[in-house]
Chains A and B, each alone.
Chain A
Amino acid sequence: MTRLELYGKSFESRILLGSARYPSPSKLAEAVQASSTEIVTVSLRREAGGSHAGEKFWNLIKSLDVAILPNTAGCYSAREAVTTAQMARELFQTDWIKLEVIGDSESLHPDTAGLVEAARILNDEGFKVFPYTTEDLVVAEKLLHAGCEVLMPWGSPIGTARGLNNEYGLRALRSRFETIPVIVDAGIGLPSHATRAMELGSDAVLLNTAVARAENPARMAEAFAEGIRAGRNAYLAGPMQPSDMPQTSTSLVDKADLRQ
Protein backbone atom coordinates (compact mmCIF):
# COMPACT_ATOMS: atom_id res chain seq x y z
CA MET A 1 0.00 0.00 0.00
CA THR A 2 1.16 3.57 -0.64
CA ARG A 3 2.71 5.42 2.26
CA LEU A 4 1.49 8.57 3.98
CA GLU A 5 3.61 11.56 2.99
CA LEU A 6 3.63 14.57 5.34
CA TYR A 7 6.02 17.46 4.76
CA GLY A 8 8.60 15.27 3.11
CA LYS A 9 8.41 12.48 5.70
CA SER A 10 6.97 9.10 4.86
CA PHE A 11 4.87 6.90 7.17
CA GLU A 12 3.49 3.39 6.99
CA SER A 13 0.75 3.99 9.56
CA ARG A 14 -2.27 6.22 8.86
CA ILE A 15 -3.33 6.74 12.45
CA LEU A 16 -2.15 9.73 14.48
CA LEU A 17 -2.73 9.26 18.19
CA GLY A 18 -3.19 11.79 20.98
CA SER A 19 -1.43 11.28 24.29
CA ALA A 20 -4.04 12.77 26.65
CA ARG A 21 -6.54 11.29 29.12
CA TYR A 22 -5.09 7.78 29.46
CA PRO A 23 -5.53 6.07 32.84
CA SER A 24 -1.75 5.84 33.23
CA PRO A 25 1.50 6.41 31.33
CA SER A 26 1.86 2.67 30.80
CA LYS A 27 -1.63 2.50 29.20
CA LEU A 28 -0.58 5.29 26.85
CA ALA A 29 2.56 3.40 25.88
CA GLU A 30 0.57 0.18 25.30
CA ALA A 31 -1.97 2.01 23.13
CA VAL A 32 0.74 3.65 21.03
CA GLN A 33 2.32 0.27 20.43
CA ALA A 34 -0.99 -1.49 19.68
CA SER A 35 -2.06 1.22 17.22
CA SER A 36 1.23 1.02 15.27
CA THR A 37 1.09 4.80 15.08
CA GLU A 38 4.22 6.67 14.08
CA ILE A 39 2.96 10.13 15.10
CA VAL A 40 1.82 11.18 18.58
CA THR A 41 0.36 14.56 19.55
CA VAL A 42 1.44 16.41 22.69
CA SER A 43 0.86 19.81 24.32
CA LEU A 44 2.50 22.40 26.56
CA ARG A 45 1.22 23.29 30.00
CA ARG A 46 2.35 25.37 32.95
CA GLU A 47 4.70 23.77 35.45
CA ALA A 48 5.67 24.93 38.93
CA GLY A 49 9.32 25.41 39.83
CA GLY A 50 10.91 22.23 41.16
CA SER A 51 8.39 19.91 39.52
CA HIS A 52 9.61 17.25 37.14
CA ALA A 53 6.26 16.12 35.71
CA GLY A 54 6.98 17.56 32.28
CA GLU A 55 10.39 15.95 32.15
CA LYS A 56 8.95 12.54 33.07
CA PHE A 57 6.29 12.83 30.38
CA TRP A 58 8.87 13.92 27.83
CA ASN A 59 11.10 10.94 28.65
CA LEU A 60 8.12 8.61 28.17
CA ILE A 61 7.26 10.12 24.79
CA LYS A 62 10.87 9.94 23.62
CA SER A 63 11.01 6.26 24.57
CA LEU A 64 8.09 5.52 22.21
CA ASP A 65 10.24 6.29 19.17
CA VAL A 66 7.53 8.19 17.27
CA ALA A 67 7.35 11.57 15.51
CA ILE A 68 6.05 14.32 17.80
CA LEU A 69 3.23 16.64 16.75
CA PRO A 70 2.78 19.39 19.37
CA ASN A 71 -0.55 21.19 19.44
CA THR A 72 -1.77 24.67 20.30
CA ALA A 73 -4.86 23.35 22.09
CA GLY A 74 -6.80 25.91 24.08
CA CYS A 75 -5.56 28.94 22.14
CA TYR A 76 -8.25 31.50 21.33
CA SER A 77 -6.25 33.92 19.19
CA ALA A 78 -3.72 33.74 16.39
CA ARG A 79 -1.14 35.56 18.53
CA GLU A 80 -1.54 33.09 21.41
CA ALA A 81 -1.26 30.13 19.02
CA VAL A 82 1.88 31.55 17.41
CA THR A 83 3.60 32.02 20.80
CA THR A 84 2.59 28.50 21.81
CA ALA A 85 4.01 27.12 18.56
CA GLN A 86 7.27 28.97 19.13
CA MET A 87 7.58 27.53 22.64
CA ALA A 88 6.70 24.07 21.31
CA ARG A 89 9.43 24.24 18.67
CA GLU A 90 12.06 24.96 21.29
CA LEU A 91 10.77 22.35 23.71
CA PHE A 92 10.07 19.46 21.34
CA GLN A 93 12.76 20.27 18.78
CA THR A 94 10.37 19.98 15.86
CA ASP A 95 8.97 22.51 13.41
CA TRP A 96 5.74 20.50 13.14
CA ILE A 97 2.74 22.13 14.78
CA LYS A 98 -0.89 21.05 15.02
CA LEU A 99 -2.46 24.47 14.80
CA GLU A 100 -5.69 24.95 16.74
CA VAL A 101 -7.30 28.36 17.10
CA ILE A 102 -10.60 27.90 18.88
CA GLY A 103 -13.39 30.41 18.31
CA ASP A 104 -16.09 29.27 20.69
CA SER A 105 -15.54 27.82 24.15
CA GLU A 106 -18.75 25.76 24.15
CA SER A 107 -18.73 24.18 20.71
CA LEU A 108 -14.91 24.32 20.36
CA HIS A 109 -15.56 25.43 16.78
CA PRO A 110 -12.32 26.52 15.06
CA ASP A 111 -11.84 30.25 14.51
CA THR A 112 -10.99 29.83 10.85
CA ALA A 113 -10.03 33.49 10.32
CA GLY A 114 -7.59 33.31 13.24
CA LEU A 115 -6.39 29.94 11.96
CA VAL A 116 -5.46 31.32 8.54
CA GLU A 117 -3.76 34.32 10.13
CA ALA A 118 -1.69 32.13 12.48
CA ALA A 119 -0.90 29.67 9.67
CA ARG A 120 0.49 32.48 7.53
CA ILE A 121 2.77 33.74 10.34
CA LEU A 122 3.98 30.26 11.27
CA ASN A 123 4.64 29.17 7.69
CA ASP A 124 6.68 32.36 7.22
CA GLU A 125 8.68 31.37 10.30
CA GLY A 126 9.48 27.96 8.84
CA PHE A 127 6.92 25.86 10.70
CA LYS A 128 5.25 22.84 9.11
CA VAL A 129 1.64 23.55 9.94
CA PHE A 130 -1.11 20.95 10.45
CA PRO A 131 -4.21 23.16 10.63
CA TYR A 132 -7.25 21.91 12.55
CA THR A 133 -10.09 23.27 10.46
CA THR A 134 -13.63 22.61 9.24
CA GLU A 135 -14.49 21.11 5.85
CA ASP A 136 -14.93 24.64 4.41
CA LEU A 137 -13.38 24.68 0.92
CA VAL A 138 -12.63 28.40 0.94
CA VAL A 139 -10.82 28.21 4.28
CA ALA A 140 -8.89 25.20 2.99
CA GLU A 141 -7.84 27.16 -0.09
CA LYS A 142 -6.63 30.02 2.12
CA LEU A 143 -4.69 27.64 4.36
CA LEU A 144 -2.93 26.16 1.35
CA HIS A 145 -2.24 29.64 0.03
CA ALA A 146 -0.74 30.49 3.44
CA GLY A 147 1.73 27.65 2.93
CA CYS A 148 0.09 24.65 4.60
CA GLU A 149 0.73 21.32 2.88
CA VAL A 150 -1.74 19.31 4.98
CA LEU A 151 -5.41 19.81 5.87
CA MET A 152 -7.00 18.54 9.06
CA PRO A 153 -10.78 18.89 8.84
CA TRP A 154 -12.91 17.87 11.80
CA GLY A 155 -15.15 14.83 11.72
CA SER A 156 -17.36 16.49 14.32
CA PRO A 157 -16.60 18.82 17.26
CA ILE A 158 -13.75 17.87 19.60
CA GLY A 159 -14.55 15.14 22.10
CA THR A 160 -18.11 14.47 20.90
CA ALA A 161 -17.50 10.99 19.44
CA ARG A 162 -20.23 11.71 16.89
CA GLY A 163 -18.22 10.51 13.90
CA LEU A 164 -18.48 12.30 10.56
CA ASN A 165 -21.07 15.09 10.70
CA ASN A 166 -20.64 16.12 7.08
CA GLU A 167 -19.62 13.36 4.71
CA TYR A 168 -20.54 15.46 1.73
CA GLY A 169 -18.19 18.22 2.89
CA LEU A 170 -15.31 15.79 3.43
CA ARG A 171 -15.88 14.23 0.01
CA ALA A 172 -15.89 17.67 -1.58
CA LEU A 173 -12.66 18.55 0.20
CA ARG A 174 -11.06 15.31 -1.00
CA SER A 175 -12.03 15.81 -4.61
CA ARG A 176 -11.11 19.53 -4.68
CA PHE A 177 -7.61 19.02 -3.21
CA GLU A 178 -6.69 15.64 -4.65
CA THR A 179 -2.96 15.83 -3.95
CA ILE A 180 -3.09 17.38 -0.46
CA PRO A 181 -2.96 15.00 2.51
CA VAL A 182 -6.27 15.18 4.39
CA ILE A 183 -6.28 14.01 8.00
CA VAL A 184 -9.67 13.80 9.68
CA ASP A 185 -9.20 15.11 13.21
CA ALA A 186 -11.67 15.25 16.09
CA GLY A 187 -15.05 13.77 16.83
CA ILE A 188 -14.06 10.18 16.03
CA GLY A 189 -15.63 7.81 18.55
CA LEU A 190 -15.57 4.37 16.96
CA PRO A 191 -13.37 2.45 14.53
CA SER A 192 -16.30 2.48 12.08
CA HIS A 193 -16.12 6.31 12.03
CA ALA A 194 -12.44 6.11 11.16
CA THR A 195 -13.09 3.45 8.54
CA ARG A 196 -15.72 5.68 6.94
CA ALA A 197 -13.31 8.64 6.89
CA MET A 198 -10.79 6.48 5.07
CA GLU A 199 -13.40 5.06 2.66
CA LEU A 200 -14.12 8.66 1.64
CA GLY A 201 -10.49 9.02 0.63
CA SER A 202 -8.98 10.70 3.68
CA ASP A 203 -5.28 10.01 4.02
CA ALA A 204 -5.23 9.48 7.78
CA VAL A 205 -7.20 9.90 11.01
CA LEU A 206 -6.15 11.66 14.20
CA LEU A 207 -7.87 10.60 17.39
CA ASN A 208 -7.31 10.55 21.12
CA THR A 209 -10.21 10.20 23.55
CA ALA A 210 -11.91 7.27 21.82
CA VAL A 211 -8.81 5.21 22.58
CA ALA A 212 -7.74 6.82 25.86
CA ARG A 213 -11.17 6.49 27.53
CA ALA A 214 -11.94 2.98 26.31
CA GLU A 215 -11.99 0.33 29.02
CA ASN A 216 -9.08 -1.29 27.22
CA PRO A 217 -7.14 1.45 25.37
CA ALA A 218 -4.63 -0.91 23.74
CA ARG A 219 -7.35 -3.13 22.33
CA MET A 220 -9.30 -0.13 21.06
CA ALA A 221 -6.13 1.27 19.49
CA GLU A 222 -5.67 -2.00 17.63
CA ALA A 223 -9.32 -1.91 16.52
CA PHE A 224 -8.82 1.59 15.13
CA ALA A 225 -5.67 0.55 13.31
CA GLU A 226 -7.56 -2.33 11.68
CA GLY A 227 -10.52 -0.10 10.80
CA ILE A 228 -8.29 2.51 9.24
CA ARG A 229 -6.43 -0.09 7.21
CA ALA A 230 -9.73 -1.57 6.01
CA GLY A 231 -11.08 1.84 5.01
CA ARG A 232 -7.93 2.72 3.12
CA ASN A 233 -7.97 -0.60 1.29
CA ALA A 234 -11.62 -0.11 0.38
CA TYR A 235 -10.94 3.36 -1.01
CA LEU A 236 -8.04 2.10 -3.10
CA ALA A 237 -10.10 -0.87 -4.28
CA GLY A 238 -12.69 1.49 -5.86
CA PRO A 239 -16.06 0.81 -4.20
CA MET A 240 -19.15 0.09 -6.31
CA GLN A 241 -21.69 2.91 -6.58
CA PRO A 242 -24.97 2.61 -4.66
CA SER A 243 -28.14 2.22 -6.71
CA ASP A 244 -31.86 2.61 -5.98
CA MET A 245 -32.64 -0.44 -8.12
CA PRO A 246 -32.13 -3.92 -6.65
CA GLN A 247 -30.06 -6.27 -8.75
CA THR A 248 -29.37 -9.95 -8.18
CA SER A 249 -25.75 -10.85 -7.75
CA THR A 250 -26.36 -14.36 -9.11
CA SER A 251 -26.97 -14.46 -12.84
CA LEU A 252 -30.41 -15.60 -14.01
CA VAL A 253 -28.97 -16.74 -17.33
CA ASP A 254 -29.30 -20.51 -17.73
CA LYS A 255 -31.29 -20.84 -14.53
CA ALA A 256 -33.06 -24.19 -14.56
CA ASP A 257 -36.78 -24.16 -15.36
CA LEU A 258 -38.31 -25.85 -12.36
CA ARG A 259 -41.91 -24.79 -12.81
CA GLN A 260 -44.46 -27.45 -11.84
Chain B
Amino acid sequence: MRITVNGEAREVGSQLLSEILVECGYRQTHFATALNGVFVHKHQRESTRVMPGDRIEVVTPNAGG
Protein backbone atom coordinates (compact mmCIF):
# COMPACT_ATOMS: atom_id res chain seq x y z
CA MET B 1 0.00 0.00 0.00
CA ARG B 2 1.01 3.60 -0.51
CA ILE B 3 1.63 5.74 2.56
CA THR B 4 3.67 8.82 3.50
CA VAL B 5 6.66 8.60 5.82
CA ASN B 6 8.17 11.91 6.94
CA GLY B 7 6.60 13.67 3.99
CA GLU B 8 7.79 11.17 1.37
CA ALA B 9 5.52 8.77 -0.48
CA ARG B 10 6.42 5.12 0.20
CA GLU B 11 5.15 1.77 -1.04
CA VAL B 12 5.16 -0.72 1.84
CA GLY B 13 4.12 -4.34 2.20
CA SER B 14 3.54 -4.42 5.96
CA GLN B 15 0.43 -3.24 7.77
CA LEU B 16 1.59 -2.83 11.36
CA LEU B 17 3.44 0.36 12.30
CA SER B 18 6.29 -1.54 13.96
CA GLU B 19 6.85 -3.63 10.80
CA ILE B 20 6.61 -0.63 8.48
CA LEU B 21 9.26 1.17 10.51
CA VAL B 22 11.65 -1.78 10.11
CA GLU B 23 10.80 -1.94 6.40
CA CYS B 24 11.72 1.74 6.10
CA GLY B 25 15.08 1.18 7.75
CA TYR B 26 14.35 2.36 11.29
CA ARG B 27 16.56 -0.05 13.17
CA GLN B 28 17.81 2.58 15.61
CA THR B 29 15.87 2.53 18.85
CA HIS B 30 15.71 6.17 19.89
CA PHE B 31 12.85 7.76 17.94
CA ALA B 32 9.23 8.77 18.49
CA THR B 33 6.29 8.28 16.15
CA ALA B 34 2.98 9.81 15.17
CA LEU B 35 0.29 8.47 12.83
CA ASN B 36 -1.89 11.03 11.05
CA GLY B 37 -0.84 13.67 13.57
CA VAL B 38 -1.56 11.52 16.65
CA PHE B 39 1.24 10.32 18.93
CA VAL B 40 1.80 6.56 18.96
CA HIS B 41 3.58 5.33 22.09
CA LYS B 42 6.47 2.95 21.39
CA HIS B 43 4.60 0.11 23.10
CA GLN B 44 1.59 0.65 20.82
CA ARG B 45 3.48 0.39 17.53
CA GLU B 46 3.09 -3.41 17.35
CA SER B 47 -0.68 -3.14 17.63
CA THR B 48 -1.18 -0.07 15.44
CA ARG B 49 -2.57 -0.88 12.00
CA VAL B 50 -1.68 1.51 9.19
CA MET B 51 -4.11 2.17 6.34
CA PRO B 52 -3.44 3.26 2.73
CA GLY B 53 -2.85 7.00 2.54
CA ASP B 54 -1.84 7.30 6.20
CA ARG B 55 0.90 9.70 7.28
CA ILE B 56 3.67 8.47 9.57
CA GLU B 57 6.09 10.83 11.28
CA VAL B 58 9.35 9.60 12.79
CA VAL B 59 11.38 12.09 14.83
CA THR B 60 14.60 12.02 16.83
CA PRO B 61 16.41 14.43 19.17
CA ASN B 62 17.66 17.56 17.49
CA ALA B 63 19.10 20.94 18.35
CA GLY B 64 16.58 23.57 19.42
CA GLY B 65 16.25 26.96 21.03
Contact = CB atoms under 8 A, between A and B. Distances in A.
A50 B5 CA distance: 14
Range class of the B interface residue count: 20 to 34
B64 interface: yes
Contacts of B26: 49-50
A85 to B, nearest CB: 9
Interface of A: 18-22, 28, 41-55, 57-58, 61, 70-71, 73, 79-80, 83, 86-88, 90-92, 158, 208-209
B64 A73 contact: yes
Given A46-B57, A54-B30, A90 B42 contact: yes
A55 B59 CA distance: 11
A70 B33 CA distance: 16
A48 B32 contact: no
A27 to B, nearest CB: 12
Contacts of B30: 54-55, 58, 91
Contacts of A73: 64-65
Contacts of B33: 87
A54 B59 CA distance: 8
Contacts of A58: 30, 60-61
Given A47-B60, A54-B31, A88-B32, 18 more contacts: A19-B63, A20-B65, A21-B65, A22-B63, A46-B6, A46-B57, A47-B31, A49-B21, A49-B25, A52-B28, A55-B28, A61-B61, A70-B64, A87-B34, A87-B59, A90-B39, A91-B59, A91-B60
Contacts of A48: 6, 25
17 contacts: A19-B64, A19-B65, A43-B62, A43-B63, A49-B24, A49-B58, A50-B28, A52-B28, A54-B31, A55-B60, A57-B62, A58-B61, A73-B65, A87-B32, A90-B41, A91-B30, A92-B61
Given A55-B28, A58-B60, A83 B38 contact: yes
Interface of B: 6-7, 21, 24-28, 30-34, 37-39, 41-42, 57-65
A73 B34 CA distance: 17
Contact of B63 (A20, A49, A83, A158): A20
A200 B60 CA distance: 38
Contacts of A54: 28, 30-31, 59-62
B45 to A, nearest CB: 11
A92 to B, nearest CB: 7
A216 to B, nearest CB: 19
A46 B59 contact: yes
A70 B65 CA distance: 9
A15 to B, nearest CB: 13
Contacts of B24: 49
Contacts of B39: 83, 86-87, 90
Contacts of A18: 63-65
